[in-house]
Structures are given as C-alpha cells and as structure tokens.
Chains A and B, each alone.
Chain A
C-alpha cells in the first residue's frame, strides 16, 4: 500500500508508521521489491486512528492459535489506554499489511510486540499533541484514559481529536518503551479477543470460505513420491455433468460444484505412472542418513546411537486455499504462516508482478511450523486460472499427511565422559538430518564437540514446533542420565553440578521443587525423570512421573511439571495455555507418533493409523512461570515442548531400568 492510499482507504485520522531499521540492518537492506513504494522500505507495522475512534493496527503476522491477535491487541491497549473492543488487528494481508518474513521461530513476541507498543505509544503522543493544539492547554494538564483525552472539564474521544486530520508520523523502532514492571494490561491476562467468534462457530477459517460461482477442486496425485505420469484417460470424468478437468503436463486436477462430485471425478481418472524405486523406508532411513551425510560420518567408534522418527504436524485444519482471478489480479485466501512467502511463490509460478497477487490469511486452524508454504494456494490458483472461476482446494486429512512436509527424522550419535565427582569432561554429539536447533549443550563442558550433518531425506521435510531442538534435547538429556547413572549421581544433582548458566539452574530448581523431586517415593512400575534445556531465548525444565504396565510395556504419563522462563511474561494465562499445549503435543512425538513409509508411500496417513494425543493421554500438568521483568520477552510457543520427551524417557528408565534410545519411545 502506498502512503497516499492510507487515507483514501481508511478515511481521515492519524497514522503511525514504524520504521524497523534494526530489521533492515540484520537482513542487509530493504526488503520490498517492486515499483518504489512511497512508504519507507523498512516499515514493520502501522497503526491508524480513524475519525470514529477505531484503532486499526496492520501487521504481517498471522494468528495460528498462538494468540498473537490478543497479545498484540494488549500491546495497543497498554500504550494507548483504549478498551480492547476499539482495537482492530489486521493481520497477514499482503495488500494491507507491511512485509513480514513469517510467523515462526517464536519471533512475534520479541519482535512484533514491542514494535506495536512503540507505534501505539507514538499515536498516544500525537493525540496529546492534537489536544494541546486544539485546546491551547499545557501538555502536563492532559490525562488519557478509556479512549479519551481530558484536561480539566474538557474531554474528547480519540475519534473527535483525529477528526479532520490527515497526519502521518514515521518513528524509529528504537524508541524506548515502558519497563515491564510498569505494565498495566500487558503482563495480565486479557481474554482471547476473538473468543466469542470461536465458541459460536462464527469465525471463518480458510476451509470455510466461499465465493460466488466457486468450484471445489481435487488434484490427482501420483501413487508414489516422484512418479511421473505416462498416460491419462480422463474421458469418464469429463463425461460427468458439471465436472471440469485440468491437465497441464504432470499436473492433473478436476473441479465440480460439489466436493463429493469432485472426489468421484478424480477417482474416475485412469492414469498410468512410471514406478520409482524408493531410497529408504522408515526402518532403514537411519543408516541412509549416515551413508548420505554430505561431510562424511563421524569417525569416533564409541558413539551411542539414538533415532528420531519422522512425524506429521497434523494441524486440525488441513491446508486449504481459495483462489480467484479478477482482471488479471489473483487473490488467494489461505492458512499459512508466511503470507508474503506464499505471494512470492505465486508471483514466480505465474510470472506476474507482486501488486497483482494478494494473499489473505484468515486466522488459521493451527500450523505448528507445518504451514510455511503455499502448496494448496498454488494448486487452487492454477486450477482457477485454467477454468476462469474461483476455485477452492481443501486438502483432506490423507493429503495433508502425505503431500505436506514432515518433521525430519534423524540419527543422533553421542558420547561423553565424566570425572568421579560428576563433572562432564568430554562430550561428542553428532546429529544427522534432523537439524541444528538446540544442538549445543547448555551445560558447561569445555572442549565439547557438536556437529550437525546434512543428509539426504527420502521424505519432504521442513519446520516443526521447536524444530530439531526436540530431537537434540531428547538425546542430550537422555544421555545426561546415562552419564549420571555411570557415576551413581542423582539426575538432579548431576545437572546442577554441570550447569553454570544461572537461568538454567533456576528453572531446574524451580521444576524440581514444584514436582517434589527430593521427596519422591519409588514404587514398582513407577518412575520419575527430569530434563532441561534452552532454546529460542527461553529456559525450560520438565519433570515427569510415569507408570509402566509390566505386561504390555504401555507407558502412562501421570504428571508433568514444567518450569519455564522466557523473560518478562506478557500474558500469564495464555503462556500457561501455550505451555500446556506444548506438553500435550510433545507427548505424541515422545510416546507414539511416527510416520511409517516405504516404496515412496506413506503407510499411516490417516488418524485411524496415526495416533495423536487425546484426553485420556493427558497427565496432570503444572507449570511454574519464572517472570523476569528485567529481561526481554521471548516467544513461548515452541521451547516448552523440548523437555517432555527426555523427561519421559528418563522416567521410563527409572521405572523399569530400560534405556529407550528412540523417538517415539513406545514404537
């Protein structure tokens, strides 16, 4: 959007543009291409106060259940002294919001949240300036509360003050902010701002959207990954009334006014595919990682191997996109964590300029790192273009669990030595394929050796909540217990002996105290485990209690205590909700989630075959939040997940004396 467009679109009022020069420095320059926009290149967010007093904030972040819409609203309420109802948050619309890299890596809170507070603070100062000018009063006599500015017996709403104005101010992202200790609303729990729309079913997800004349589409996927189409007989599908077939090279799709009809039509396509030979299956893949390591495998012989299965994100809303072409302009509604990334994919695919593509992201039925790209958007746009009608592409569960991407599997090899007093003296750690996040031990180990090896992946893989930090923490913290066992030290004491980072010690102690670690009573079939770590600016320690069925070996997690410290707490209730959510999701990957594949196929791409955590799996979860008002707030959607798997693995060892060196533990 161009500067002159603001007021045309929004009407009069005041606008604050936030110039994010910090971001520009980090990325080495401006981040928007296309014809020179009139707004500065590094705008991170903007805020408008209209003549009706409505405050509208524009940010390229999206809401995927991590509660950004509420926490960002809170930032505005705090600085502007307005009721939350008068704040509207426009998110993830590439025509209206500033460029944003994407909603991932727990960056919304550390990066966007202070930006929006700054923009709101600047708008507050502008309102006060207006009151000074209009009333000719001293600034110090003004008060601001509940969406009004007052001085003595004079009082005006924000809308009245902004009336007739067309005033824009650009502020740097570096202006100082109120200290966390002075926060009023931020730091307290504001109820979810769109909660009512959710409980009444009014909120429209991508899956729910419609346009007049819209067709539902299905894509013909090959029976194996990478198989090429040899021949196609579409005559049966084409003969069905209302059905249209699109065939462009290897890309085959059908569209119909009803979902069921599209499904029948795609099933009626007769296709021949050239079979492919798959490189590895879900059992052989770990050796395959080692064989294909780009920089060669580790030389050391004494390493202990652990394996990590591929898992699926299973967002409850499968990917979906609605595409519409109008006058050469493409609009796509889709649930993605990277609206601008998806726009780039579309720009490239169709060879049209950025201004002719608009991506709009409705608040999405979760992502967990799984919705970074625009697969459904590309499909819908392609079919819509070919047919000249709006097209809906709603993925089914099987499609979501086959054609999206997976959390990488990995092979991790580890070795270490301990002095008799429990000090770790040697540490060697190799991660093949799963990733480098959380690779480095937060314990004090001089001379430690840690390496990530790139390997070939037989499956398409990508981001996932916590990335590889889950895998790396699982192995590191399991092996920490192996070392502790060697010198017969209590796992808690062993960790505290080797932790020098005070923030790490603090979470470990906090979790152990809340859990009652020292007073724990061992009984047959019961076990206790502890694990800790550091990732994305947050420290976490997790204690777990498990019961293991002596006959079946089935594991039930009875209790989990999480101590979490991510700097100054923004919204404690939602932080607890995120911590609980991370523990529940982490239980699945810890205990039973595993993508089984081979011959270029996924064998368990349905919820009947792929178990995810349910009510009956949930332990008692207690969280201890260490609120460090003196530290910058870090994001919280990811880090709490990393401790649960090793805490459970360690508890299983404690219960039955068996060390399980794989995720999932119950495979």
Chain B
C-alpha cells in the first residue's frame, strides 16, 4: 500500500473504497456513483487502474495498491500531477485524483497515446465540470515520454 505493507482487520466483503476512506483515512479516492460508471474512485492495483467501489477489499490482499496520496513521495509531485496543474485541468477537482491515476495507468501501458487513444483510455472517467479538453491537454503534454516529465 503506497510503497509499504499495511495491514487492516476488516470484513473481506467490504469495498476497497470504503476501507481506504474510512479505515485508512485515504480519502483521495472519491465516491461518485458506487456502480463503476464514473471512475472517481480509481486506484492502481499492481499498476492497473481499478474502480475501488466495485472491488472487494479481500480481492486485493497482497497486491500493490497506489492511491493518489502515494503517487509521489511526500512533498513532491508526479509528472502527471504537475501536467494537470500546468493545464489548469480542474474546476471543483472532485474527479481529478481518479483522472490522474487513470492517466498514469494509460501512460504506463501506452507511453505515446494519440488523441483517439486518450479518449478511449479515459472515457470511463466522468468530469461533470467538463474539464475534458484540459485533461486531454495535460495527457498530450506527457505523451511520448511515458508520464515522465
């Protein structure tokens, strides 16, 4: 969990989202729908973008989980976080932690996505404030170097 082992003693049937938020106090993963439609709850499980609202906590035992809080070392920003800031890709910001992790995963599997690939890769994420063009810009700025600035 975010770079180190972390144990919790909870019912394995609970969702990863609520355990992260309520038991581990990692509230960067957001609840938007609870039905896999918005991706506000995205975290990385073994590097794969995963909707934590649909994931049972028991299913991620022993796996590498990265939440927005653990994306960069304390006090530093990940290049994708910096790219979102540079592109002013946020309004209320509620979707943004999920978007950033989705973008990290996308760039991880395809370091040089074109626009169509970004759209397909990110289409599961809803931003109700409509910052999609800005998010596209942020990801485009990193394309070609795999999320490294």
CB distance from B143 to the nearest CB of A (A): 15
Question: Which residues of chain B have C-beta atoms less than 8 A from A66's C-beta?
Answer: 91
Q: Does B38 contact A (CB under 8 A)?
A: yes
Q: How far is the CA of A316 from the CA of B123 in the complex (A)?
A: 16
B33 with A365: CB separation less than 8 A = no
Q: How far is the CA of A204 from the CA of B71 in the complex (A)?
A: 18
Question: Which residues of chain A have C-beta atoms less than 8 A from B100's C-beta?
Answer: 199
Number of A-B contacts (CB under 8 A): 172
B130 with A606: CB separation less than 8 A = no
* B 49-75 binary contact with A (CB < 8 Å = 1; else 0): 000000000000000000111011000
Q: Pick the residue among A258, A577, A607, A621 that contacts B38 (CB under 8 A).
A: A607
In the complex with contacts A199-B81, A199-B100, A585-B28 CB distance below 8 A: no
Of all chain A residues, which has the CB nearest B82? A199
Q: Does A191 contact B (CB under 8 A)?
A: yes
| Count of residues in A whose CB is under 8 Å from the partner chain | 56
Question: Which residues of chain B have C-beta atoms less than 8 A from A204's C-beta?
Answer: 27
Question: Which residues of chain B have C-beta atoms less than 8 A from A316's C-beta?
Answer: 30, 32, 38, 40, 92, 94-95, 126-129
In the complex with contacts A258-B18, A577-B91, A200-B77 CB distance below 8 A: yes
CB distance from A78 to the nearest CB of B (A): 19
Q: How far is the CA of A153 from the CA of B81 in the complex (A)?
A: 43
A residues 309-341 in Cβ contact with B at 8 Å:
314-318
A615 with B81: CB separation less than 8 A = no
B68 with A200: CB separation less than 8 A = yes
Of all chain B residues, which has the CB nearest A199? B81
* B 100-126 binary contact with A (CB < 8 Å = 1; else 0): 100000000000000000111011011
A residues 230-266 in Cβ contact with B at 8 Å:
258-260
| Count of residues in B whose CB is under 8 Å from the partner chain | 58
In the complex with contacts A201-B69, A366-B128, A65-B35 CB distance below 8 A: no
Q: How far is the CA of A204 from the CA of B35 in the complex (A)?
A: 22
B18 with A615: CB separation less than 8 A = no
Q: How far is the CA of A498 from the CA of B102 in the complex (A)?
A: 49
Of all chain A residues, which has the CB nearest B121? A615
Q: Does A613 contact B (CB under 8 A)?
A: yes
In the complex with contacts A199-B77, A203-B93, A260-B15, A615-B88 CB distance below 8 A: no
B35 with A606: CB separation less than 8 A = yes
Question: Which residues of chain B have C-beta atoms less than 8 A from A368's C-beta?
Answer: 128
A394 with B91: CB separation less than 8 A = no
CB distance from A394 to the nearest CB of B (A): 7
Question: Which residues of chain B have C-beta atoms less than 8 A from A207's C-beta?
Answer: 27, 30-31
B130 with A584: CB separation less than 8 A = yes
A residues 26-43 in Cβ contact with B at 8 Å:
none
A-B contact pairs, 14 of them (CB 8 A): A195-B88, A201-B26, A201-B67, A204-B27, A205-B30, A207-B31, A208-B27, A314-B128, A316-B40, A316-B94, A366-B129, A581-B129, A584-B132, A613-B132
Shortest 10 CB-CB contacts between residues of A and residues of B: A201-B28, A584-B130, A65-B92, A365-B94, A201-B68, A198-B93, A607-B37, A208-B27, A65-B91, A581-B130
Beyond A195-B90, A615-B136, A618-B130, 12 additional pairs, beta carbon < 8 A: A196-B77, A199-B96, A201-B29, A202-B69, A210-B25, A258-B18, A366-B94, A368-B128, A577-B88, A577-B134, A608-B35, A615-B119
